[in-house]
Amino acid sequence: MSEALLSSVPVPHADLLRELIRRWRDDPGATYRSWFLWDERLKNFRSIRRGLQVVVAEIEAGRFGVAYRGSSLETVVHSIAEQRQIFKGADHAWLWKPKLRIPDIYESPENQRAFGRLLDNCSCCDTAEEVIGHIRAIDQRKIKGLGPAAANLLYFLHPTLIPPFNTAIVNGYNAVSGAKVKLGSWDHFLAMRAGILDLNDCYRDLLSNDLGAIGGFLFDVGSGRYPAPPLDQEGSAARDWLGQLEQARAEASRLDKAVAAQGETDRTHAEIQAWLRDLGLALGHDVWIAANDRGRLHQGVPLGQGCLERLPDAIATSPGADSIRLIDVLWLSKGGGVAAAFEVEHSTSIYSGIVRMLDLALSGGDLHATAGLFLVAPDAREADVRAQLRRPAFSRIADLDFAYLSYGELERNKDAIARFGSDLKAIRAIASPLR
């Protein structure tokens, strides 16, 4: 790689960059607070990894097919793209472009199997050297259209080794480093990765071992939320940049109405969890709140208050336990079995919630023998729920007791059920089967 591509950061520029990262961390509308610290981000990691395992298994078995639409890959990428702004449009690179015949993993079985090997091999790696070796191996095949967009999949396998990737992140990296990284090249991506690791080491106290943090910072610079500090060392340039930064802050505040709306989404999600918690307790169940939601406040009260602090051993040691403990709300019988499981899908990926429910349902034993499995979503999302469940990846759903429970039905009936109900019959009566 040329010196221009791997340019270093001048010291005065580094001081300005540190100031910018501080302001970025404190900005409620930037990716650090709105995405990186978002609880749902971590909950999605396991489900996306599970989805990639399905992609690999279908490719190995020759069942993947010859189209992106309706494939297990579309299911996973759609789940990634549904996350907040940093991954918006993540599916564009995977859509079949018939005139260009790219990405060529649908028509070429050999290329498809090579792609499957990349995902499978990287999922088993422990070191950066191994991951980079597998990237080099697939790059040697020169598969048309299969470039660094695949890094977004690898990020969810190894968030401390591989940064996320998109046009805005590349633009942000070039702006803060003075590099000339280009899209579509694995060589350029790996050079950028090396530079990102150097930047991350310099500002580790403000960032994270998880490269999603610095990826989010570069995304916000590259998408125009902040101007990059000047690379020259003149004092006037630094002063001008500080003025531009203040102007950008004022501009960003006008965009933060969307962030406020997203905050309302989070509040509503917690509100529904609180309804289900209170209803479960009223019906005499022990209640489990998702491990990473227990401290979230609703009306000033932690969601986990009055609920189990740990899952029964039979569940905590079962297959899929890491995913089960992230289910939004579990009602448990006094004997320790699961009476009902609820995933609240306000605006996040329905896919991730379904995978967590499947982990529970397919975990074996008597944990779910009589459990009701409910996807709880706004009234307007029923069509989305049913569309997701028609995907081939969820063919097992037909054998299970899944149901859709709308916010409206829950709100209208929760008080009466709490007063007069005694089991799941009333909940089943207001829910719609999803078989």
Say what the pLDDT of residue 243 is. 61
Distance from the Cα of residue 239 to its chain's centroid: 38
The pair phi, psi for residue 332, each rounded to 5°, is -115, 140
* 238 within 8 A of 16, measured Cβ to Cβ: yes
Residue with tokens 């709490």: 418
Sign of the C-alpha dihedral computed for residues 374, 377, 382 and 386 taken in this order: negative
- H/E stretch holding 403: strand 402-406
Strand partners, 432: 404
Q: Distance (Å, rounded) from C-alpha 45 to C-alpha 359? A: 14
Say what the pLDDT of residue 138 is. 96
- Bin 184: left if φ > 0, else alpha if -120 < ψ < 50, else beta: left
Say what the pLDDT of residue 255 is. 53
Q: Distance (Å, rounded) from C-alpha 139 to C-alpha 187? A: 9
For β-strands 338-344 and 372-377, DSSP reports them as: parallel
Supply the pTM of this predicted model: 0.72
What are the strands of the beta sheet with 402-406, ordered from one edge?
A: 286-289, 329-332, 338-344, 372-377, 402-406, 432-433
Distance from the Cα of residue 289 to its chain's centroid: 20
Strand partners, 377: 406
The vertex-212 CA angle with 185 and 231, nearest 5°, equals 65
* 164 within 8 A of 155, measured Cβ to Cβ: yes
Say what the pLDDT of residue 106 is. 95
Tokens representing 382?
């029923």
Contacts of 338 (CB under 8 A, 6+ apart): 315, 330, 331, 332, 360, 367, 368, 371
SS3 342: strand
Helices 109-123, 39-61: crossing angle, 10 deg rounding: 130
Say what the pLDDT of residue 295 is. 84
Say what the pLDDT of residue 253 is. 58
Q: Running along the chain, 435 residues long, what does each successive block of 10 average in pLDDT?
A: 49 77 90 87 84 93 89 87 80 88 94 97 94 96 93 96 95 92 94 95 95 96 89 63 62 55 62 93 92 83 90 85 88 86 78 78 63 87 78 69 89 91 87 83
Say what the pLDDT of residue 239 is. 61
Asked if the peptide bond before residue 103 counts as cis, ω within 30 degrees of 0, the response is yes
DSSP state of 396: G
Say what the pLDDT of residue 11 is. 47
Tokens representing 399?
């054998």
